[in-house]
Structure 1
Amino acid sequence: MEKCLFKVLAKFRDVKYRRNIIISIIILMTVLIPINILKIHKNRIRVFNEVIPQIDSVNEYEINAVFYEEEKIMEGTEKITYINKSPNNLKSIYFHIYPNVFKYKETVPFDENEIVEAYKDGFEPGYININSVKSSKGSLSFLIMGKDNSILKVNLHDELEPQEKTKIYIDFMIKIPPAYGRFGFGKNTINFGNWYPIASVVDESGWNLEPYHSIGDPFFSDISNYRVIMTMSSNYVLASTGDLVKKETTGKNYRWTFEAQNVRDFAMIASKKYKIIEDEIQGISIRSYYFEDEAAEISLKVAKDSIDIFNKIFGRYPYKQFSVAASDFYIGGMEYPKLVFIDEEIYRSNREMLEYIIVHETGHQWWYGVVGNNEIKEAWLDEALTEYSTLLYYEKKYGEESKNKMYKNMILAGYNLYRNFDERKNEIILKDLDHFNSSREYQALVYYKGAMFLQHLREELGDEAFFDILKVYFDKYKYENATTEDFKKVCEMICDKNLNNIFEKWLMGVNE
């Protein structure tokens, strides 16, 4: 059985969570035993951040868009109420305009060997045109710049002082490409991921203007509030980050109005074929958007169980709803706030993998969604935590033996396979995306070795301290962007130890 497993693992793809065959074997090897409840000692938990950010303390987006089905074009306007949270006066504000990365085949964010899967019917361009940018004082000059023209620089009339607000109005047109990825359309769905101009993060190092890498999830954003009005054919059902507050009929179209507060991004998926099944857990509405009847109950139950388990381990999911949506998405799964994309083929072909991916993407609601981080510079911080959270789901739901077998046959086997292919010294987990040599290296280090680090930390500190760390880290940095140093400080505070050597050894490859 092990020889067979490693023959399969040797062929694994360099694509995020494209692991259908691998996980099938791993899950089949996993013996399910009754739940083994983890003992969480709540008396040590200190809540740092119980206050939800006030509406006037975060950026606000108001987007009004119309989708033209035949042309696969969206026309829209966006009003951004932007707050200068930096300590310096700002002369300009920068936005990511990710759709421009899809304009040329040479710039799309897919590895060369993935192009055929991403563009099943051949390449066609996608892009965003910025028609105008204005303020209350009139037109603003702007510049399309950066790698693949994916940055919009807006020059202000007057310098924006710290904590001062300004309103910017952007008129745009978007062409949706025929791509089975975060942004694009296929035979069943239209995926609106990373589609609108979104303000770049400015911090102590300045503006974060990193490009759209083909490796990992190259995004970094602040918590914001959204009101999105989407007009499209009434034939479509629309899943969204936002809570639906109004749905109106206008001729042959529906006008959907969504609102979402304190979220890091805003995504949507539209389909004419969607069916919906819904349930509730702890007052949270759980929805599954699906095509095949036999997969509906499975996807809904996994999402529901994931929310329930993670609520108990990390802290309560702070939103009213969570949606899992089948999608034309060849990569496997992708997280957005309150909404995750799942490859629709997995619903029909691999239910064991369907469970694993839904659990992983649900875990991202805590690690990336509520507690944010720079996914370009410190990808391990959300991905490793989420990968280990997936193991905790199996531990809580099926028992410790199930989790241990999953850890051995997925994490350790995947990492050792990478080492057999590419033995490197001083393996560095904590580095920028563009410093990884391949998606294979990224997955082996960020996911697998990152999860190994967390397992080691758990063994070193003990269960009581480890689970206290997860709760305190979530409480302290909810609605903020955290760093590796922040996570380390929480660990040291809980266990009252200096952990520099452990962190440097595992994350920076020091003295390995």
Structure 2
Amino acid sequence: MLTIVGAHLRVIETMTTMIHGEKIPKTKKINNYTITVDFDPVERILTGNEYIKYTNDENTSLNALYFHLYPNAFKDEKTAPFEKNEMDRAYPKGFEPGYIKIHSIQKNGDPLNYVVMGVGESILKVHLKEPLEPGEKIALKLDFSVKIPPSCGRFGYGENTINIANWYPILSVFDKKGWNLEPYFAIGDPFYSDIANYRVEILMPQEYILGHTGECIKRESIDGKIRWTLEGKNVRDFAMIASEKFKVIDDQIDKIKIYSYYFDDQFGDLALDVAKDAVGIFSQTYGEYPYKQLSVAASDFFIGGMEYPNIVFIDESLYKEESKEILEYIVAHEVAHQWWYGVVGNDQVNEAWLDEALTEYSTLLYYEKKYGVKMEEKVYKNLIVRYYNAYKDSEGSKDPSVCRKLNRFKNSQEYQVLVYYKGAMFIKNLRKELGDETFFQVMKVYFDKYKYKNASTEDFIHVCEKVANKSLRSNFRKWLRYDKE
């Protein structure tokens, strides 16, 4: 995600790639979601079910499965994932709750016990009748309904769009720490998920145009409504956005279809061109964009931009003459997230810097490759160094560490300055330290090694040191105040 600050800017197969003789670790077995929902445009409620096929790919038996219920963060003003100074913009017509209700959970028609727990009731614990042993599979059916709130954020609706993101029960990640059950923090992008395959069917009034993760494989007319059948393979999440007002244009690069969803005649084409150029630049620099489509959607979204697999939400107020430079910057940034977060994932709660710093630096790289080094330096000085120095001089930070948990940042401004700006400054310095040839080899190897996986700071350091054949840990410690736990 990229926010606006200041005046304008406020599986698959086992890979065989080798790094100095080191074999790539096996990709986790991929899980499958099949979701069928009906959208009520009057009440703004989604009702339906989810089939989840899960494989225990861990080395321990599991007595329960855990899911995130992100919509429940919107049930109460106290847990709504916005800072206090954002609430008026998040809810321009006043607060109303959003939520998700679980109606039943079954395994082969047999009901399972479950409990909704955690901060804001945002965690679902499903008790299994028998332990799920390593390598065993399980299929569950969850019946649920979702109330979409009048919120101009990731999940909610405004005057123009219905933003359907972080909306369904999604499996928590099980890693070396166990189940990750962090709440929906107000700062940053508090999400951490595994790659999965999705098939989503949504029944909507025919006047709505739908932007989405994955491909539309079927559109059927049913009693005056449209049933959209969508498939997203090897994606980390599944998001949609709907509007009765959307205009859509498209273009293509290397067999990848690029779509721009917008409202006015102005600057929908700019968003399209930026996305197309960014896909070309990042594909050549890091590794090919592995999906068949990418959408950029103007949205009722006051925070700038937000990334999801194959689709990004962009604040619709930026689609105007006085904001077109910021529009370009944010679109390029969110497209870069398709590489850093989308394909190569990470724990965005505890190590947010890893995708955000790489993405922010990739945005600079977009300007360098498209317009030349002088433009990149201009953007770097005006939009990164300038804001970083201004914050450091006026606010300062008692804790200069970049790599820390989201709830350890005092506000979004501190988070953005340290994670985005200082993080990008570090990556730029790392490129200078390694030289272009080694640096870009590092990025390609890192992308290739952790494609469709989750990486950590330690993983990134390891790749850097292996490819560069030198110790770089002191650089990470100096810039990020990072120490291995």
TM-score calculated relative to the size of structure 2: 0.95
**2:172 pairs with 200, 203, 213, which one?**
200
RMSD, matched Cα = 2.0
Equivalent residue, structure 1, for 2:458:
485
Equivalent residue, structure 2, for 1:293:
265
What letter is aligned with 2:4?
R
**1:162 pairs with 131, 134, 138, which one?**
134
Residue 198 of structure 2 corresponds to residue 212 of structure 1: no
**What is the CA–CA distance in structure 1 between the aligned matches of 2:472 and 2:367, rounded to whole Å?**
28
CA contact (8 A) 1:179 1:186 kept: yes
After TM superposition, the structure 1 = structure 2 runs for residues 300-449 of structure 1, keeping only pairs within 5 Å, are 300-348=272-320, 349-424=322-397, 427-449=400-422
**2:71 pairs with 99, 123, 142, which one?**
99
Question: For the structure 1 residues 303 and 373, does the alpha-carbon distance in structure 2 shift closer, same or farther, using more than 3 Å as the test?
Answer: same
After TM superposition, the structure 1 = structure 2 runs for residues 246-265 of structure 1, keeping only pairs within 5 Å, are 246-265=218-237
Question: For the structure 1 residues 98 and 260, does the alpha-carbon distance in structure 2 shift closer, same or farther, using more than 3 Å as the test?
Answer: same
**1:229 pairs with 179, 201, 207, which one?**
201
Query: What percent identity do the matched residue pairs reach?
Result: 54
Structure 1: gaps spanning 5 or more residues: 1-14, 25-43
How big is the shift at 1:421?
Answer: 2.0
Q: Report SS of the residue matched to 1:167.
A: strand
Equivalent residue, structure 2, for 1:3:
none
**What is the CA–CA distance in structure 2 between the aligned matches of 1:509 and 1:84, rounded to whole Å?**
32
How big is the shift at 1:70?
Answer: 0.6
**What is the CA–CA distance in structure 2 between the aligned matches of 1:48 and 1:310, rounded to whole Å?**
26
CA contact (8 A) 1:315 1:475 kept: yes
| Superimposed CA distance per residue, residues 256-294 of structure 1 (whole angstroms, 9 cap, x where no aligned partner) | 000010000000000001111011001100000111112
Q: Whose RCO is larger (CA < 8 A, sep 6+)?
A: 1
CA contact (8 A) 1:384 1:450 kept: yes
| Superimposed CA distance per residue, residues 403-428 of structure 1 (whole angstroms, 9 cap, x where no aligned partner) | 11111121111111111122335510
Question: For the structure 1 residues 91 and 67, does the alpha-carbon distance in structure 2 shift closer, same or farther, using more than 3 Å as the test?
Answer: same
**What is the CA–CA distance in structure 2 between the aligned matches of 1:311 and 1:509, rounded to whole Å?**
29
CA contact (8 A) 1:189 1:270 kept: yes
| Superimposed CA distance per residue, residues 23-55 of structure 1 (whole angstroms, 9 cap, x where no aligned partner) | 59xxxxxxxxxxxxxxxxxxx99999999979x
**2:43 pairs with 71, 74, 94, which one?**
71
CA contact (8 A) 1:47 1:472 kept: no
Residue 159 of structure 2 corresponds to residue 173 of structure 1: no
What letter is aligned with 2:32?
E
What letter is aligned with 2:439?
F
| Superimposed CA distance per residue, residues 160-201 of structure 1 (whole angstroms, 9 cap, x where no aligned partner) | 111211001100011110000000001111000100000000
CA contact (8 A) 2:19 2:467 kept: no
What letter is aligned with 1:18?
I
Residue 128 of structure 2 corresponds to residue 142 of structure 1: no
Question: For the structure 1 residues 230 and 46, does the alpha-carbon distance in structure 2 shift closer, same or farther, using more than 3 Å as the test?
Answer: farther
Equivalent residue, structure 1, for 2:4:
18
CA contact (8 A) 1:48 1:476 kept: no
**What is the CA–CA distance in structure 1 between the aligned matches of 2:365 and 2:195, rounded to whole Å?**
27
**What is the CA–CA distance in structure 2 between the aligned matches of 1:272 and 1:102, rounded to whole Å?**
24
| Superimposed CA distance per residue, residues 429-483 of structure 1 (whole angstroms, 9 cap, x where no aligned partner) | 1110011111111111100110111111111111111111111100010000000
How big is the shift at 1:19?
Answer: 3.6
**What is the CA–CA distance in structure 1 between the aligned matches of 2:399 and 2:384, rounded to whole Å?**
19
Residue 423 of structure 2 corresponds to residue 450 of structure 1: yes
| Superimposed CA distance per residue, residues 194-220 of structure 1 (whole angstroms, 9 cap, x where no aligned partner) | 000000000111000000000000000
Structure 1 runs of 4+ with >3 Å offset: 19-24, 44-54
**What is the CA–CA distance in structure 2 between the aligned matches of 1:71 and 1:51, rounded to whole Å?**
47
CA contact (8 A) 1:20 1:346 kept: no
Structure 2: gaps spanning 5 or more residues: 11-17
| Superimposed CA distance per residue, residues 299-350 of structure 1 (whole angstroms, 9 cap, x where no aligned partner) | 1101100000101111100000000001111111000000000011111351
Equivalent residue, structure 2, for 1:113:
85
CA contact (8 A) 2:27 2:453 kept: no
Question: For the structure 1 residues 410 and 49, does the alpha-carbon distance in structure 2 shift closer, same or farther, using more than 3 Å as the test?
Answer: farther
CA contact (8 A) 2:2 2:330 kept: no
What letter is aligned with 1:457?
L
How big is the shift at 1:16?
Answer: 4.4
TM-score calculated relative to the size of structure 1: 0.90
**What is the CA–CA distance in structure 2 between the aligned matches of 1:23 and 1:116, rounded to whole Å?**
19
**What is the CA–CA distance in structure 1 between the aligned matches of 2:219 and 2:183, rounded to whole Å?**
36
Equivalent residue, structure 1, for 2:479:
506
